[in-house]
């Protein structure tokens, strides 16, 4: 579904990603973890072309994102992304936020888009808030609307960049529940997260980044109990206080 | 006092006022549209485009409006059209060309103020450049720019009086024509000043109203409060 081949990303002379290769299969839930500043967000943003790689190739569903003549808008309409800061459009109601892309990008009729929006709002438990404006929502509600907005394009893959980092514990659970639901529905997901319980319970694969490199890839069980790299062990010991 | 001068020449003054209002309206619409285009071009990442738009904006802002009006009426428009333009046409083109440079700067700063996250969200949904601009970026920017735009348009309304220099009989000039005949300047000038004040001040009140809480759906808020009261 996603194939990343030896990508490099540098700002000026600072390397943010060094020689990262990875593969994500259809229906897989990948948790991306690692210390702050190690390049997790950049990795995610390269996948939908929000950042350009300096070197290497990325394929999404067989199409090369990194090719110079790629229609990025087309790829982006098939890859949803949810940000830490929600980024709902403040001048549109919840429903209008969700309807915008289906109407403008997929050119479906307003009434069809309306139905899609309502169905998605029901799915994320926000049906009663359809006519509110983003500034009237709590963080957890806003994030669930942001998820619904991405889903409205019927993406093949969903990327999440620390979707719960701006939320308190109760709101975090609301959003994590929505994401678990999505995982059960078979969505392919890459989730940058600090929520280790989510990584353990929901993910099928953990990708651990440190200092711009992909250090280790493993199933959660193996990753948390029998990590191969000394860097991973050090991280698990110091950050998560695990005995490894 | 000769307040009667106003009533005796009321129709004439009003026909001047109508010209002023028509000119102002056309110029507001024209300079808003052109200003948005110039502002977006100025904001462009393509250096040549940004430079050319910037050159136009800086040049225009460094020249007195009255020179603009005279130049466009006696030089530019006759050259383009191949015949003399009407006073109204020249004044309209000059005001649009002049004000759009100021609007463009306002638009540019509005565009700069947009949260990068909103632009990225719009990109990530697959919206193309045009849809991102028209559906997301400009609407957010325009709401923020409203106070600055309104104050620019208030200047524009007052600037329409400069069109009298090429001979257009707008509101100020129509008053002048009356007191050139009667020699009672004071009353007419007071009346004209108060009329400009009424127009410009109501616009400024309107902008204050638009400024407060632009996004919240006021109707639903009011309804909720009413229900709670009941
Ligand atoms: N536009 C930019 N210009 C220069 N450096 C940047 C830019 N964006 C990111 N960086 C740098 O790249 C590095 C990786 O950033 P990135 O946001 O991918 O890290 P992260 O792993 O997501 O961190 P966090 O957990 O704090 O979100 C950081 O050191 C950051 O300072
Ligand atoms: Mg990050």
| Cβ–Cβ < 8 Å for B217, A93 | yes
Asked whether the ipTM of the predicted complex exceeds the cut of 0.85, the reply is yes
Three-class secondary structure of residue A152 per DSSP: coil
| Whole-number Å distance between alpha carbons of A37 and A35 | 6
Question: With contact defined as beta carbons under 8 Å apart, do B171 and B18 qualify?
Answer: no
Q: Which residues line ligand 1 (CB under 6 A)?
A: A 11, 14, 16, 36-42
Structure tokens at B36: 């948005």
Comparing alpha-carbon positions, the chain B residue that sits nearest to A150 is: B125
pLDDT of residue A136: 94
Task: Give Cα A180 distance to the centre of its chain.
Answer: 13
Q: What's the pLDDT at B2?
A: 82
Q: How distant is the alpha carbon of residue B21 from its chain centre?
A: 12
User: To probe the interface with B, which of A45, A98, A101, A152 has the most B CB atoms within 10 Å?
Assistant: A101
In degrees, rounded to 5, the angle at the alpha carbon of residue A59 between the alpha carbons of residues A53 and A64 is 75
Chain A residues touching chain B at CB-CB below 8 Å: 48, 50, 72-81, 83, 85, 87-91, 93, 100-101, 104-105, 131-136, 146, 149-150, 153
Domains of chain B, by residue range, sit at: 4-229
Q: In this complex, which of B121, B135, B215 lies closest to A135 when CB atoms are compared?
A: B215
Successive 10-residue mean pLDDT values, chain B, 230 residues: 86 95 97 97 95 96 94 93 92 96 96 95 96 95 91 95 94 93 90 96 88 57 54
Structure tokens at A238: 């110091």
- B120/A contact by beta carbon, under 8 A: yes
Q: Which tens digits make up the pLDDT trace of A30-57?
A: 999 999 999 999 999 999 999 999 999 9
Contact between A22 and A207 under an 8 Å Cβ cutoff? The reply is yes
> Which stretches of A59-168 are DSSP H helices?
72-78, 94-104, 110-123, 139-151
Copy the structure tokens of residue B56: 């136009």
| pTM exceeds cut of 0.90 | no
Q: How many Å lie between the centroid of ligand 2 and the Cα of residue A105?
A: 28
Does the pLDDT value for residue A236 go beyond 60? yes
B contact test, residue of A50, A89, A105, A136 with most B CBs within 10 A: A89
Angle, helices B171-182/B10-43, rounded to nearest 10 degrees: 150
Residue linked to tokens 């994401």: A179
Burial label, A13 (beta-carbon count in 10 A; 0-12, 13-18, 19+): exposed
CB contact under 8 A, B214 and A91: yes
Question: In this structure, what are the phi and psi dihedrals at residue A206, rounded to the nearest 5 degrees?
Answer: -110, 135
Pick among 1.25.40.10, 3.90.1150.10, 1.10.3720.10, 3.90.1530.10: CATH of B4-229:
1.10.3720.10
Distance CA B196, CA B185 (A): 17
Q: What is the pLDDT of residue B5?
A: 84
> Rounded CA gap, A91 and A35, in Å?
35
Model confidence over A92-121: pLDDT tens digits?
999 999 999 999 999 999 999 999 999 999
Q: How far is the CA of A40 from the centre of ligand 1 (A)?
A: 8
């Amino acid at each position: 579904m996603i194939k990343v081949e030896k990508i490099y990303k540098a700002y000026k002379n600072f390397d943010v990603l060094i020689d990262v290769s990875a593969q994500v299969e259809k229906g897989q839930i990948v948790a991306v973890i690692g210390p702050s500043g190690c390049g997790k967000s950049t990795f995610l943003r390269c996948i939908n072309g929000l950042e350009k790689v300096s070197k290497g190739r990325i394929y999404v569903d067989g199409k090369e994102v990194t090719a110079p003549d790629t229609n990025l808008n087309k790829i982006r309409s098939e890859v949803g992304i949810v940000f830490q800061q929600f980024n709902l459009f403040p001048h549109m109601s919840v429903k209008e936020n969700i309807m915008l892309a289906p109407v403008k990008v997929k050119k479906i009729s307003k009434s069809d888009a309306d139905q899609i929006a309502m169905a998605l709002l029901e799915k994320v438990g926000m049906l009663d808030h359809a006519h509110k404006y983003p500034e009237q929502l709590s963080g957890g509600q806003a994030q669930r609307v942001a998820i619904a907005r991405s889903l409205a394009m019927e993406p093949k893959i969903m990327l999440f960049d620390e979707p719960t980092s701006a939320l308190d514990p109760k709101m975090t659970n609301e959003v994590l529940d929505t994401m678990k639901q999505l995982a059960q529905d078979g969505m392919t997901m890459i989730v940058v997260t600090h929520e280790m319980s989510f990584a353990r319970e929901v993910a099928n694969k953990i990708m651990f980044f440190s200092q711009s490199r992909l250090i280790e890839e493993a199933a959660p069980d193996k990753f948390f109990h029998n990590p191969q790299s000394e860097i991973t062990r050090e991280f698990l010991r110091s950050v998560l206080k695990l005995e490894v | 006092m000769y307040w009667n001068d106003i009533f005796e020449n009321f129709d004439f003054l009003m026909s001047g006022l109508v010209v002023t209002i028509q000119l102002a309206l056309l110029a507001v619409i024209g300079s808003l549209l052109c200003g948005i285009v110039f502002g977006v071009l100025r904001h462009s990442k393509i250096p040549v485009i940004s430079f050319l738009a910037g050159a136009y904006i800086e040049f225009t802002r460094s020249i007195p409006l009255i020179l603009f009006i005279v130049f466009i009426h006696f030089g530019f428009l006759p050259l383009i059209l191949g015949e003399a333009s009407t006073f109204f046409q020249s004044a309209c083109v000059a005001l649009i060309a002049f004000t759009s440079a100021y609007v463009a700067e306002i638009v540019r700063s509005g565009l700069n103020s947009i949260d990068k996250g909103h632009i990225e969200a719009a990109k990530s949904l697959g919206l193309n450049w045009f849809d991102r601009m028209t559906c997301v970026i400009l609407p957010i920017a325009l709401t923020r720019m409203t106070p600055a735009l309104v104050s620019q348009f208030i200047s524009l309304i007052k600037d329409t009086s400069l069109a009298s220099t090429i001979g257009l009989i707008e509101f100020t000039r129509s008053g002048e024509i009356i007191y050139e005949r009667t020699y009672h300047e004071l009353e007419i000038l007071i009346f004209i000043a108060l009329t400009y004040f009424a127009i410009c001040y109501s616009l400024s009140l309107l902008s204050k109203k638009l400024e407060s809480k632009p996004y919240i759906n006021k109707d639903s808020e009011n309804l909720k409060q009413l229900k709670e009261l009941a």
